[in-house]
Amino acid sequence: FFLAVAAGRAQVQQEPSAETTEGTAISINCSHPGIKTSETIYWYRQLPDRGPAFLGSAHKGTKELPDPPGQLRVAADRRSSALWLTRPRRGDAAVYYCALG
């Protein structure tokens, strides 16, 4: 199935799209080279015909996410992050956003 990806704001860059098959893990990457020390990284997704829903946030390291199952991983230099979906299903097809705040 298809996972669309979009940027949350100008300081954030994401791949235009990402694709996987059901049950095959996928990493959705986000680049934020100008991140400030005080800023936190937020991830959201927007399912078809719904508003954006908060998935999780992190300042550093790795954070487990329960739904959808996966991890939010922040690079050591904090210049990039990734949403890792371990067992994506068709129902996880959505627009995924990262943002700083």
The reported pLDDT for the residue numbered 54 is: 95
Domains of the chain: 23-100 (2.60.40.10)
* Among candidate residues 3, 1, 100, 97, the one with its CA nearest the CA of residue 51: 97
By the 10 Å C-beta count (0-12 exposed, 13-18 middle, 19+ buried), 97 is classed as: buried
pLDDT band at 3 (very low <50, low <70, confident <90, very high): low
pLDDT tens digits for range 12-68: 888 788 889 999 999 999 999 999 999 999 999 999 999 999 999 999 999 999 988
- Cis, bond preceding 68 (omega within 30 deg of 0): yes
pTM comes to 0.85
* Better-scored residue on pLDDT, 11 or 71: 71
